């Protein structure tokens, strides 16, 4: 018997799976092992025979499944599920200026965000996502929806320099966001990011305030950056420099910066991100759908930049599917670099889990299946025609698996999805609400 097993002989939950991929150490795959959970945290990963020495209140046997850490969606706009498919096949700025922003001005409100985020949570949880980094208006409604679902949310305290139905000016956005943070500060499922939307919607004065609050409160800064060539051109015309150089001059490059997209980065800029310890949220499907381009992921990783995976919003993707994004990211990295060894399966899985947790400052709590961390666990059924024969479960997971194979999800040791059914949300009511919003939006925008 190991010292670890001998030190504690009781657990709340034992999960026996065909394989466990803990992410740490990188590339490891454990066969014939059990994962033990106590008080919401991972107590041990042990060979089955050693786990037999533990007394467990509940035992779940999943012999054809692989266990992985809960997936982390490093960038999304959850409430925009209600705009899924609303204005497809358009360039980014046309899509935003002519369609998305006008629709949001008409419809975005507390109820819109609550219902849209509940729909997003139902989709994400069912696909193995246990934590998401959100950026949207009425963040209090998103936080309430996520905690109702039993998911982790990093709520973005959004800021733009123009008035919306949410706030009239930059100070109003900040005041509302910081009050929300104070109200939810002690909830273990909730963390926060400062979320200036983008360099083209936020001026220097507002960015300087963001930097001050980020330093005082130790909050990450979550911002769209270098997504399109238009963004770069606009920045050069208005400020005389590219957006990242502008942020660097303002002092915003730091280990707290999460740069979303990072499609158009030159070698100098990638070096800046690396030397300042910044992070990139890679959203491959959204970049492709909006024609934004191909993020230089292999180069970023080679520079030592931490890169996580995001879905972006359902209005520009149109799926909140981190498993799908993980596969796409791996394939694109190979195609763009011309190197089939670029972004191997183990690294892709790390991007979808631990790298996202690291960007949010949550790597000590989530992102890998390690004793002492929160028991955020996903079980995926590999006994599936699309996954067999299984020579390498890690390779299978990245290149073959679909989110419909997610069978069980635990957050903090509590089961949220069982046999594909979400236990925390009323699926029928959420779908009815989505239908009501479709009617409202369609009538307003025939």
Q: Which residue has the tokens 């997003």?
A: 120
d(CA 77, CA 407): 25
pLDDT at residue 87 in the model: 87
Q: Are 415 and 408 in contact (CB under 8 A)?
A: yes
Burial class (CB in 10 A: 0-12, 13-18, 19+), 111: middle
pLDDT at residue 445 in the model: 72
Instruction: Report residue 358 as tokens.
Output: 């690291």
pLDDT tens-place string over residues 347-394? 999 999 999 999 999 999 999 999 999 999 999 999 999 999 999 999
Backbone phi and psi for residue 201, each to the nearest 5 degrees, phi listed first: -120, 0
- Beta bridge mates, 155: 134, 192
Instruction: Report residue 347 as tokens.
Output: 């690294």
The beta strands (E) that lie in 39-151 are given as 41-47, 55-69, 71-76, 129-136
pLDDT at residue 96 in the model: 83
pLDDT at residue 446 in the model: 58
Dihedral, 312, 317, 319, 322 alpha carbons, nearest 10: -50
Run of H or E residues at 379: strand 377-381
Other CB atoms within a 10 A radius of the CB of residue 6 amount to 10
* Block mean pLDDT (10 aa), the chain, length 446: 55 98 97 98 97 97 98 98 92 85 91 98 98 98 98 98 94 97 97 97 97 97 97 96 98 98 98 98 96 96 98 96 98 95 97 98 98 98 94 97 98 98 98 96 80
Segments in 240-362 forming alpha helices (H): 243-249, 267-275, 284-289, 297-303, 322-337, 345-352, 354-359
Domain positions in the chain: 3-69+375-412, 71-359
pLDDT at residue 57 in the model: 97
pLDDT at residue 3 in the model: 43
Dihedral, 88, 93, 97, 100 alpha carbons, nearest 10: 40
pLDDT tens-place string over residues 28-85? 999 999 999 999 999 999 999 999 999 999 999 999 999 999 999 999 999 999 999 9
pLDDT at residue 36 in the model: 98
Is the domain defined by 71-359 classed in CATH 3.20.20.140?
Answer: yes
Instruction: Report residue 9 as tokens.
Output: 């002989």
| Alpha carbons within 13 A on the beta-carbon side of 247 | 29
Residue 374 gets which letter from DSSP? B
Burial 229-255 (b: 16+ CB within 10 A, else e): eebbeebeeeeeebbbbbbbeeebbee
pLDDT at residue 1 in the model: 39
Topology (CATH level 3) of domain 3-69+375-412 = Urease, subunit C; domain 1 (2.30.40)
């Amino acid at each position: 018997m190991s010292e670890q097993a001998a030190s504690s002989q009781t657990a709340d939950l034992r999960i026996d799976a065909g394989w466990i991929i803990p992410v740490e150490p990188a590339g490891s795959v454990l066969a014939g092992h059990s994962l033990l959970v106590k008080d919401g945290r991972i107590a041990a990963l042990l060979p089955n025979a050693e786990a037999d020495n533990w007394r467990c209140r509940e035992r779940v046997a999943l012999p054809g499944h692989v266990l992985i850490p809960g997936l982390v969606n490093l960038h999304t706009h959850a409430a925009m599920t209600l705009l899924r498919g609303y204005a497809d096949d358009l360039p980014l700025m046309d899509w935003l200026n002519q369609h998305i922003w006008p629709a949001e001005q008409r419809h975005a409100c507390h109820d819109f965000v609550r219902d849209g985020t509940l729909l997003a949570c139902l989709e994400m949880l069912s696909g193995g996502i246990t934590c998401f980094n959100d950026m949207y208006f009425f963040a209090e409604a998103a936080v309430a929806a996520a905690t109702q679902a039993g998911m982790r949310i990093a709520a973005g305290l959004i800021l733009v320099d123009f008035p919306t139905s949410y706030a009239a000016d930059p100070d109003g956005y900040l005041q509302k966001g910081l009050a929300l943070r104070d109200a939810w500060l002690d909830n273990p499922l909730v963390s926060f990011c400062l979320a200036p939307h983008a360099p083209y919607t936020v001026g220097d004065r507002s960015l300087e305030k963001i930097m001050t609050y980020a330093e005082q409160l130790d909050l990450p800064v979550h911002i769209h950056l270098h997504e399109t060539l238009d963004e770069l051109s606009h920045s050069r015309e208005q400020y005389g420099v590219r957006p990242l150089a502008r942020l660097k001059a303002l002092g915003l490059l730091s280990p707290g910066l999460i740069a979303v997209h990072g499609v158009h980065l030159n070698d100098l800029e990638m070096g800046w991100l690396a030397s300042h310890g910044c992070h990139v949220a890679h959203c491959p499907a959204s970049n492709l759908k909006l024609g934004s381009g191909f993020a230089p992921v292999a180069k970023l990783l080679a520079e030592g930049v931490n890169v996580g995976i995001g879905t972006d919003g359902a209005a520009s993707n149109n799926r909140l599917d981190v498993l799908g994004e993980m596969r796409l990211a791996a394939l694109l990295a190979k195609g763009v670099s011309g190197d089939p060894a670029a972004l191997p399966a183990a690294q892709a899985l790390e991007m979808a889990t631990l790298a996202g947790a690291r960007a949010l400052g949550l790597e000590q709590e989530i992102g890998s299946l390690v004793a002492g961390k929160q028991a955020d666990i996903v079980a995926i059924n590999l006994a599936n025609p699309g996954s067999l024969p299984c020579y390498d479960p890690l390779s299978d997971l990245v290149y073959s698996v679909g989110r419909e194979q997610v069978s069980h999800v635990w957050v903090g040791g509590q089961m949220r999805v069982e046999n594909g059914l979400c236990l925390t949300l009323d699926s029928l009511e959420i779908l009815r609400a989505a239908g009501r919003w479709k009617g409202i939006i369609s009538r307003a925008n025939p």
